Structure 1
Amino acid sequence: MATPTPATLAPLAERADAPSVLPPLAAGGLTWRPATVDDAGTLLDLRNTVAEADGEPYRETLEELREILGAPWQRLGTDSVLGLDEAGALRAYGYVETMPGDTTRVRAFLWGAVHPDRRGEGIGRELFAWQEARARQLLAATGTALPGRIAGFLEDTAPATKVRLYERAGFAPRRYYSDLERDLRDLAAHPLPVVEPEGGLRLLPLDDAHDDAARLAHNDAFRDHWGSEPQTREQWRSGRATYAPEWSFVVVDPEPDVAALLADPRTDAETADALRAGEPLVVGYHVAARYEADFAVRGYPFGYTDILGVRRAYRGRKVAVALLAAGMRAFAADGMAVAALDVDTQNPSGAHGLYASLGYTTRHGSRLLTIEL
């Protein structure tokens, strides 16, 4: 059967089956209100308490959470709730997030949890129903005929009760992700490859002059990845609390064949405009992050490859391996014990084979569960 296209789909407002009224939140005797950025401190305590109880391999910082809550596209007043007990202590939270750059499929992501001490009272069940209902309202309100998706992530260590919440609501696992690591503590025994990108391409630090060009490369590189949507400038520049420019690199084509690229139907409009304007052409990028709050959880310091990608027209020219090697050298020079990254297990670019060849092994896993509309 052919995959439905917007031309063959009914309006999303019909497919979303959005309720006119959100379901009530009454379990556990909690008082509910929307979140604000000023709640970041108390929300941080709850999120990290949940992460520890559920064996999640990360912790957040106040700066990270303030960035998440303060993102320009967040609508906390209508799309979030906090559940407080009689003493005013935060015991549950939930919010729904939609992204401004979605152009081929509109998505609504569910984020939320209940304090471990208050589980088993029906709070999570009611909260999850509220989130799903709000997600359906948000998708219906887009006024589009694009495909829609309601989605949530679960770590492999997630409690069975949370997994059952998704299953009972009709969510199905669509994608699996692996958290990979490569040890950097004995490079004499396990050296990093010395690789230069081919064909006159240049490896450079990722600086402000190449930042938006890296975004355009990312949008091209991930166009053939399941679940990916283009990022706007606003999205690309957000969430920089953990960004590590000293570990980040780009590969640039100093003399691109502009005429050929402009004639190529695969060249997107934003890249075409940048080429006409004479702006640099980034063909690959390695954006790294320093998650210092996670060092104690893992038991050692690590450098993290947040995003790695290569433009489709430039694959096969050793761009990815040159970027990864540069990143790992930067991690090691800064005293990091391992290099880490996360990858879709069904990545279409053959990334798993590349990582395995460089010594990466699996440490942890997660999955994405969705309702497709």
Structure 2
Amino acid sequence: MERASLGVFDGDEMAGFMKVRFKPSAEEVHRVFLDGGVHPGHRRRGIGTALVRAGVEAAKVVHALHHPASRLVIDVHKAEHIAGIPELLRPQGFAPIRYFQRMVHPLGDMPIPGGTGIEPWSEQNDEDFRFVRNESFQDYWGAAPMPVDHWQNKVTNQTFRPAASFLLRNADGAPAGALVTMNWEADTEATGVRDAHFMIIGTLPEHRRRGVASALIAHALRAVAEQGYDRAILSVDSASLSGAPGIFAKAGFTPTSRHVRWALEA
């Protein structure tokens, strides 16, 4: 954090921030993720530009420390509807390279069938969850394997919801697919809507096109409805070759907003 984060303050009030996150592994390309924001009351003062420039420099430092032999690409992922993002990023050399569709399921009272051979997360099967994520995301654009410490930091943290996260095993008892749910309490407090974010939905390559993802989604939808969530949300790569958009649409998810991945080759 001391090398890759920055906060801007107006007195005691935070006006903006930036942070960068590096990949735990990289081969030819190392994609460093740059995130941040400026409070609406402090925009149009050059804060965003200063933060983006600082983020680019921080990304170079982190890249040099961890994967100096790889080519550096800096990614920014922002909702398309946020005003001023293109004007902020284009002058810094960023260009849009990919689009991700946000999809929502309203839950409601519709009957949802449960799956078989499905179990919730536990400390005993945590490594099976991580294994499924790493194996199923090998062909996912921009993904990298998660070592244990990265998994604990990014997934099984304070936003993780184990009672709404599930593992599906095949007939031999081996893991075949997994679904991970997260929820941000601050979002619920601010909006009054309790969202179940299906952050990871993965199926091992040898088990694809057998209904694994559909069974996990159906089971998770029923579980989060019973647990008092208002809706389920997920994000899907519009250029996905796995058929995921069709699977989600069939499960009852409908598209809402779209996010843009901007990239800078540094």
Q: Considering the TM-score relative to the shorter chain, is it more than 0.5? A: yes
Letter in 2 for 1:159: A
Matched residue, 1:159 = 83
C-alpha distance in 2 between matches for 1:95 and 1:194:
40
C-alpha distance in 1 between matches for 2:73 and 2:165:
32
From 94, 112, 118, the counterpart of 1:192 = 112
C-alpha distance in 2 between matches for 1:228 and 1:246:
26
Letter in 2 for 1:248: S
8 A Cα contact 1:302 1:331, kept in partner: no
The 5-angstrom pairing of residues 36-75 of structure 1 reads none
Tell me: CA distance 1:133–1:213, structure 2 relative to 1, closer, same or farther (3 Å): same
Shift of 1:177: 1.4
8 A Cα contact 1:103 1:229, kept in partner: no
From 117, 142, 159, the counterpart of 1:242 = 159
For the residue of structure 1 that corresponds to 2:213, the secondary structure is helix
Matched residue, 2:50 = 126
Shift of 1:107: 2.1
C-alpha distance in 1 between matches for 2:201 and 2:45:
42
Structure ranking higher in helix proportion: 1
Shift of 1:195: 5.0
Shift of 1:81: 2.2
Tell me: CA distance 1:169–1:341, structure 2 relative to 1, closer, same or farther (3 Å): same
From 116, 119, 126, the counterpart of 1:204 = 119
Letter in 2 for 1:111: D
Matched residue, 1:183 = 106
Shift of 1:184: 1.9
8 A Cα contact 1:321 1:354, kept in partner: yes
Shift of 1:194: 5.3
Residue 79 (1) aligns with residue 7 (2): no
Matched residue, 1:287 = 180
Q: Considering only CA atoms, is the larger Rg found in Structure 1 or Structure 2? A: 1
Tell me: CA distance 1:121–1:362, structure 2 relative to 1, closer, same or farther (3 Å): same
Matched residue, 1:64 = none
Shift of 1:325: 0.8
Matched residue, 2:256 = 363
**Normalising by the residue count of structure 1, what TM-score does the alignment of the two structures yield?**
0.65
From 153, 174, 178, the counterpart of 2:97 = 174
Shift of 1:285: 0.3
For the residue of structure 2 that corresponds to 1:364, the secondary structure is strand
Matched residue, 2:24 = 100
Shift of 1:284: 0.4
How many corresponding residue pairs?
A: 264
Matched residue, 1:13 = none
C-alpha distance in 1 between matches for 2:144 and 2:233:
24
Shift of 1:100: 2.2
Cα RMSD, aligned residues only:
2.2
For the residue of structure 1 that corresponds to 2:181, the secondary structure is strand
What do residues 252-310 of structure 1 show as CA deviations (whole Å, max 9, x unaligned)? 2353xxxxxxxxxxxxxxxxxxxxxxxx7322001112334333655543322121100
Tell me: CA distance 1:349–1:141, structure 2 relative to 1, closer, same or farther (3 Å): same
Matched residue, 2:144 = 229
Tell me: CA distance 1:90–1:248, structure 2 relative to 1, closer, same or farther (3 Å): closer
Letter in 1 for 2:207: Y
**Normalising by the residue count of structure 2, what TM-score does the alignment of the two structures yield?**
0.89
8 A Cα contact 1:224 1:348, kept in partner: no
C-alpha distance in 2 between matches for 1:147 and 1:338:
40
Matched residue, 1:215 = 130
Ranges in structure 2 where 5+ consecutive residues have no aligned partner? none
Identical columns (%): 29
